[in-house]
Amino acid sequence: MNNLKTLMNFLYKLEDANIYYSIRKPSSRPRECIMVEVIVPGQRWEVEFFEDEIQIEVYRSDGRIYDESHLDVLFADYSD
């Protein structure tokens, strides 16, 4: 499996579809990992390309919209 070719073809498909993405090298993952983060309405995808496999996680919105008071909840839940 040629994952560099697979990665490039995936990026071309995203560009052809006008889908926003960013590329990063996560420090928490093995050195040989490239992550493509894709943002589409109501979802975020993390597509990780390793030497010998590809892993995909999809995060979906529940559709609820919060006002600014919810920021306090988020910080309370996720701060150290």
Domain ranges of the chain: 3-78
User: Which strands, in side-by-side order, build the sheet including 43-49?
Assistant: 20-24, 34-40, 43-49, 54-60
Half-sphere exposure of 48 (CA within 13 A, CB side): 16
pLDDT digits (tens, 9 = 90+) for 53-76: 999 999 999 989 999 999 999 999
Tokens of residue 9, six digits: 């073809």
Q: What is the pLDDT of residues 18-44, one digit of tens each?
A: 999 999 998 877 678 899 999 999 999
Q: What is the pLDDT of residue 27?
A: 80
